[in-house]
């Protein structure tokens, strides 16, 4: 499950399609850590952990727990996958999405099974989840997510007894993969991409099952899919009513202008419900999860830590940024979702001012906004910034007054104890240095982890440790969930997790033909920086 020991790679072709072939997955030799020294230079003694890690955490992001039966999803927009005007609206539906909960449960088991972080040997003390835990801003999706992470009975289904999904055999559209087949002949995925028939899969996938739950504390984060319909559209009063009602759209509204479709969806997503519809079973549990309810839902009996990181201030002010101090590291969790709509993120100025204040608290020396060196009596502490969006996606200008990404970058560069930004959103494994060319700090590393819903369906272990020679190191190790590489014909929960990954790999929109897995320099890596202060007394 730690990919330094063993990893999942493409295997033989199982079936040929008219456009591409459907391939199996197999296990292969693990991928060793490589060392990246862009922020220190290649000289210095061998990198090794000196004592226990200063921080050892698991990182998961972009779970996309999905109510596949929701009337407020617009799967038919996948028809426009080749049209750049719809790019920000996609992907609306994935062939593997009915199995998302099983894949997440398998990753929970995999994280729990890691007895020691692979480089430092330290125990994993915390799981950091950086947003898009859910897919469509719905309360029932959030209930499924917390059951997966906290343990207990997970119910992926909604609505009535019958499964009312675009993947159901009787659904009147053949562009979606239908594992049970259908009355309209072979679907597009079977014909074009060689996808399999798996009779009974939807029924088994929607049955309640038990999740082990994380054995360590976990903290949450607000992403665009917690805030917005399909992560893009503002949840208007009209859409909120449609979420809990009984009509589901199956086609684009008449006369839709493709040139303005994105902004129409951002501001008036309910317009996309004005075309052809079918009847589905209404469910009040699908109500939208506004920011106050999102924060409040983390304050559950037995939550570790209390509120899963969110604070009484968040409850009072309906905000969702906070700090979480460990014994050696300050974790600062930002809310980068844009409440004005759109998938990309932004940081509002009151949050930016709060961030500056919290950075000052853990710096004995920093640079102020005028370029002056400021000395304080504060104790030094390393800082990790966690958010949903990577820096390069903080470009959403729909919200007036939000700070541009380069302003946030300049702020972080003024504080040398910031060594890492940790995020997700783009469903891509990516590691980037952000060198500071002007100030006293060298800069920091940004580690973006791919999603659980799309290939390669992974998480990470992140370790921060004293590497000797006046250096601090960040070790990143990819984690595969415990579903089998070859799911076989069985439909037990573990096998469904394995099938989820195989389907994700073969997805023509977001699978192996993309760069989502990253390169070896984005996966198992050890990242070095000069220690900004003496790390051990």
Predicted TM-score (pTM) of the model is 0.97
Domains and CATH numbers, the chain: 6-530 (3.60.21.10)
The DSSP bridge pattern shows strands 329-333 and 382-386 to be parallel
Question: In the prediction, which pLDDT does 438 show?
Answer: 83
- Cα(388)–Cα(24) distance, integer angstroms: 31
How many CB atoms within 10 Å of residue 208? 10
Phi-psi region of 169 (alpha: psi -120 to 50; beta: other; left: phi over 0): alpha
Question: In the prediction, which pLDDT does 184 show?
Answer: 78
Question: In the prediction, which pLDDT does 311 show?
Answer: 98
Per residue, the 3-state secondary structure of 309-345, as one string, reads HCCHHHHHHCCCCEEEECCCEEEEECCCCCCCCCCCC
Report residues of the chain scoring pLDDT below 50. 537
Q: Quick one: DSSP state of residue 384?
A: E
Residue 257, token pair as written in the block: 């202008």
């Amino acid at each position: 499950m730690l990919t330094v020991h063993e990893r999942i790679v493409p295997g033989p072709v199982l079936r040929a399609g008219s456009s591409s072939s459907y391939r199996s997955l197999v296990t292969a030799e693990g991928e060793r850590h490589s060392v990246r020294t862009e922020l220190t230079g290649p000289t210095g003694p061998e990198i090794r952990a000196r004592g226990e890690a200063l921080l050892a955490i698991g990182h998961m992001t972009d779970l996309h727990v999905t109510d596949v039966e929701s009337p407020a999803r617009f799967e038919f927009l996948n028809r426009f996958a080749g049209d750049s005007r719809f790019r920000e609206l996609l992907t609306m539906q994935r062939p593997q999405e009915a199995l998302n909960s099983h894949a997440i449960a398998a990753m929970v088991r995999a994280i729990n099974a890691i007895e020691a972080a692979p480089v430092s040997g330290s125990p994993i003390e915390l799981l950091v989840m950086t947003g898009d835990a859910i897919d469509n801003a719905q309360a029932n999706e959030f209930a499924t997510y917390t059951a997966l992470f906290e343990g207990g009975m997970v119910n992926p289904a909604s609505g009535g007894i019958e499964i009312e999904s675009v993947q159901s055999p009787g659904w009147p559209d053949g562009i979606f993969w239908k594992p049970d087949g259908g009355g309209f002949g072979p679907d597009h995925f079977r014909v074009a991409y060689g996808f399999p028939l798996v009779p009974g899969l939807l029924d088994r996938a929607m049955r309640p099952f038990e999740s082990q739950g994380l054995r360590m504390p976990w903290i949450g984060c607000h992403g665009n899919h917690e805030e917005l319909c399909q992560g893009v559209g503002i949840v208007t009063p009209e859409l909120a009513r449609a979420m809990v009602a009984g009509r589901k759209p199956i086609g684009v509204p008449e006369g839709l202008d493709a040139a303005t479709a994105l902004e129409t969806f951002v501001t008036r997503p309910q317009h996309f419900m004005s075309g052809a519809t079918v009847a589905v079973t209404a469910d009040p549990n699908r109500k939208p999860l506004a920011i106050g309810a999102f924060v409040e839902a983390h304050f559950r009996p037995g939550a570790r830590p209390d509120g899963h990181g969110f604070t009484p201030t968040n409850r009072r002010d309906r905000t969702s940024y906070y700090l979480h101090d460990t014994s050696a590291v300050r974790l600062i969790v930002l809310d980068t979702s844009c409440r004005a709509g759109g998938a990309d993120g932004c940081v509002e100025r009151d949050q930016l001012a709060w961030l500056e204040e919290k950075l000052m608290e853990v710096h004995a020396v920093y640079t102020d906004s005028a370029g002056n060196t400021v000395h304080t009596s504060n104790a030094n502490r390393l800082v990790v910034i966690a958010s949903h969006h990577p820096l390069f996606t903080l470009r959403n200008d729909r919200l007036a007054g939000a700070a541009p990404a380069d302003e946030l970058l300049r702020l972080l560069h003024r504080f040398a104890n910031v060594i890492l930004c940790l995020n997700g959103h783009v469903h891509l494994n990516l590691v980037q240095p952000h060198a500071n060319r002007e100030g006293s700090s060298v800069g920091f590393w940004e580690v973006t982890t791919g999603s659980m819903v799309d290939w390669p369906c992974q998480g990470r272990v992140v370790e921060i440790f004293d590497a000797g020679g006046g250096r601090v190191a960040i070790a990143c190790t990819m984690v595969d969930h415990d579903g089998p590489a070859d799911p076989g014909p069985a439909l037990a929960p573990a096998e469904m997790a394995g099938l989820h990954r195989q389907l994700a790999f073969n997805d023509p929109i977001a699978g192996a033909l993309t760069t989502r897995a990253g390169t070896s320099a984005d996966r198992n890596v050890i990242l070095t920086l000069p220690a900004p202060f003496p790390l051990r007394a």
